Chain A
């Protein structure tokens, strides 16, 4: 079974600064996807970024980028130029590449962006 760990329950960052959220996972699978989802106070789950394990290049979406280290089973999220609207819970998620498989979520990191 897969497990996902997020070792930082809470973090804070000053507006316009950069912050990195950590995620590690455990799996014996070789082909999988990793995701970061954001959950603001509204509790809607919003996709931030996705990484396919077979791709060596780290995914990037505007101010969000990942550092994917497959051998180390690490998948950190970097948020550049933090904005007040980035304040949310951030969940790391793992999915085997077998369409229809469920996500395994980490416990989340609560990020506060301070003015």
Chain B
């Protein structure tokens, strides 16, 4: 069964550094999403992406964040200058008809 994959599973970085989180959505899906989950808290929407552009973003998704679909398969989330409060689990999801399928997540630790 097709699934969403994410790499790396765990990323450790220094505050102020740039990180790129990678996702490979399910191949026939058209909508792509990033969510984050700070430890012990609920899952929060960051951004949705459709037809090669952002369709919606939350207030969390400020100028430090960007998304890209550089080729036909990958979907990336870049954080330009990480802050301590960016430490969280980041989930990628994709969908075609409502139900979103989530990847296993990338645990980002900012030191």
User: Which residues on A are within 8 Å of B, measured CB to CB?
Assistant: 33, 35, 37, 42-47, 50, 91, 95, 97, 99-108
**A99 adjacent to B105 (CB under 8 Å):** no
**B31 adjacent to A91 (CB under 8 Å):** no
Distance between Cα atoms of A102 and B44 in the complex (Å): 10
Instruction: For the complex of A and B, list the 7 residue pairs with the smallest distance between their C-beta atoms, beginning with the closest.
Output: A45-B102, A102-B45, A105-B43, A107-B42, A100-B50, A100-B55, A100-B31
Contacts of B11-66 to chain A: CB distance below 8 A: 30-31, 33, 35, 37, 41-45, 48, 50, 55-56, 58
B97's closest neighbor in chain A, by CB? A99
A35's closest neighbor in chain B, by CB? B99
**B31 adjacent to A99 (CB under 8 Å):** yes
Distance between Cα atoms of A50 and B91 in the complex (Å): 20
**B99 adjacent to A50 (CB under 8 Å):** yes
In the complex, besides A33-B99, A45-B43, A91-B43, 5 extra interface pairs with C-beta distance below 8 angstroms are A43-B37, A44-B105, A46-B102, A95-B98, A95-B100
Q: A47-B99, A50-B98, A95-B98 are in contact. Are A103 and B105 (CB under 8 A)?
A: no
**A100 adjacent to B48 (CB under 8 Å):** yes
Q: How large is the interface on B (under 10, 10 to 19, 20 to 34, 35 or more residues)?
A: 20 to 34
Q: Which residues of chain A have C-beta atoms less than 8 A from B98's C-beta?
A: 33, 50, 95, 97, 99
User: Which residues on B are within 8 Å of A, measured CB to CB?
Assistant: 30-31, 33, 35, 37, 41-45, 48, 50, 55-56, 58, 89, 91, 93, 95-102, 104-105, 107
**A105 adjacent to B42 (CB under 8 Å):** yes
Q: Which residues of chain B have C-beta atoms less than 8 A from A101's C-beta?
A: 48, 56
Distance between Cα atoms of A44 and B91 in the complex (Å): 9
**B44 adjacent to A105 (CB under 8 Å):** yes
**B104 adjacent to A103 (CB under 8 Å):** no
Distance between Cα atoms of A27 and B75 in the complex (Å): 31
Partner of B48, one of A42, A45, A102: A102
